[in-house]
Amino acid sequence: MFAFINPEYALLYRIIGAFAFALLLSLICGAPFIAFLHKHQQKGQPIREDGPQSHLQTKKGTPTMGGLLILGAAILAILLFAKISYHFVCVSVLVLIMYGITGFIDDYWKVKRQNSNAMTARMKLFLQFLTALLAASIITAATTTNINTVLSFPYLKSVMLNLGWLYIPFAVVVISGASNAVNLSDGLDGLASGLLIIAFTFFAAVAYFCGIEGSMMHYIPRCGEVAVVCAAVVGACLGFLYYNKPKARVFMGDTGSLALGALLGAVAVMTKQEILLAIVGGVFVAETLSVMIQVAYYKKTGKRFFKMAPIHHHFEQLGWSEKKVVMRFWGTALALAALGCLIFIG
């Protein structure tokens, strides 16, 4: 599509095009799509009875599966603006579709049964790990052999650890872990979508520079196309946020959170910045750790460490408004992204 443009700028044009197309598509299709969901989800997403009591009144009846809007807009933008023949792009679409299907099945049965825990954790994890294993194997095979199994350290370009055969299991944990971390963060209006916009914007820049030989990043051939993928997701999430901001007209659901979290983990693996993901995605890490700490502490003492987990609910229980929690978490994510930007210096 952009063959007539100077190759030096063609990638940037496609990044901007993917972002703009996904943004406009999600904005235009959002209202009719939400109306469609309302028609077929008369009771909406079931709300946790053990969650904040205010949610039972304010969020009851809100439809879920809004992630379909994000995934549809992002995938179509990727197909139009990215080079789909490249392995990294194919894997990105594969991850979005497979994790999206897993989340959709879970959301469907939640709505059907009006139960907030529809699919068993074992079945969900099996599907997640199976897809992550396939994605990690393709990514490793498509990456140049001198760095395909190494773990790089942020801010220390010369320091790398070769994990050998352990790298693929490590990558599987990163992808699946990111998927579940984003899923846990999707509990307040606009929270997960805003955090994802920040994280994918950052990794779009990382992917872009990874694809440039001689830049401050480790050179990974064809990695620049991953920036187009990230831009498409940012545009789709931004359009979705218009409908997901308080008071949300639609929820992302597992359909979106599982798929987008998995893609974020896959992008970190493609760019060899798995540790950096833990820094920039520190809010996601905190959400996950809060649940792990809560469960472990309760099993040992019979008491709760936090007032409620994930940790965004803990702050709600302390008296913070939902909007205050979301804005503070967004601010924290922006600060962590700024810290991550130090990788571009040197």
- What is residue 204's predicted lDDT score, i.e. its pLDDT? 97
Amino acid at site 292:
M
Q: What is the pLDDT of residue 144?
A: 85
Burial 210-245, CB ≥16 within 10 A → b, else e: bbeeeeebbebebbbbbbbbbbbbbbbbbbbbebbe
In-domain check, residue 265: yes
- Residue at 345 is within a domain: no
Structure-model confidence comparison of residues 22 and 124, the more confident one: 22
For the stretch 52-93, pLDDT in tens is 555 545 667 788 889 999 999 999 999 999 999 999 999 999
Average pLDDT taken over every residue of the chain: 89
For residues 230-245, average pLDDT: 96
**pLDDT tier for residue 261 given thresholds of 50, 70 and 90:** very high
CA distance 178 to 142: 21
Q: Is the residue at 328 inside a domain?
A: no
Q: Per the domain annotation, does 81 fall within a domain?
A: yes
| Confidence (pLDDT) at 44 | 55
pLDDT, tens digit, 9 for 90 and up, residues 181-231? 999 999 899 999 999 999 999 999 999 999 988 777 888 988 999 999 999
User: Does 154 map to a domain?
Assistant: no
Q: Can you tell me the mean pLDDT for 137-160? A: 88
- Which residues, listed in sequence order, are joined to residue 45 by a DSSP beta bridge? none
Q: Looking at the domain assignment, is residue 277 inside a domain?
A: no
Residues 281, 198: contact at Cβ < 8 Å? no
Q: How many CB atoms lie within 10 A of CB 65?
A: 25
Q: CA dist 114 to 26, 45, 117, 122, Å?
A: 27, 7, 9, 20
Q: How confident is the model at residue 336 (pLDDT cuts 50, 70, 90)?
A: very high
pLDDT of residue 4: 44
332 inside domain: no
**DSSP assignment letter at 93:** H
Q: Which pLDDT score is estimated for 245? A: 87
Using pLDDT thresholds of 50, 70 and 90, give the confidence band for residue 272.
very high
Distances (CA, A) of 65 to 44, 101, 254, 269, 325: 10, 11, 7, 27, 23
Mark residue 238 as left, alpha or beta (left: phi above 0; alpha: psi -120 to 50; beta: remaining): alpha
Q: What pTM was computed for the model?
A: 0.92
- How many domains in the chain? 1
Residue range 293-326, pLDDT digits in tens: 999 999 999 899 989 989 999 999 999 999 999 9
pLDDT of residue 111: 79
Contact 322, 188 (CB under 8 A): yes
Percent of the chain exceeding pLDDT 90 equals 68
Give the tokens for residue 192: 């997960």
What mean pLDDT is predicted for residues 1-13?
Answer: 64
**Burial class of residue 163, CB neighbours in 10 A (0-12, 13-18, 19+):** middle
Helices (H), 159-190: 167-185
Residue type, 325: V
| 243 confidence band (pLDDT: 50, 70, 90) | very high
Position 8 scores a pLDDT of: 54
| Mean pLDDT, residues 265-289 taken together | 96
> Domain range for residue 46?
7-142+160-272
Write down the pLDDT at residue 230: 98
- Residue 325 maps to a domain: no
Report which DSSP code applies to 223: T
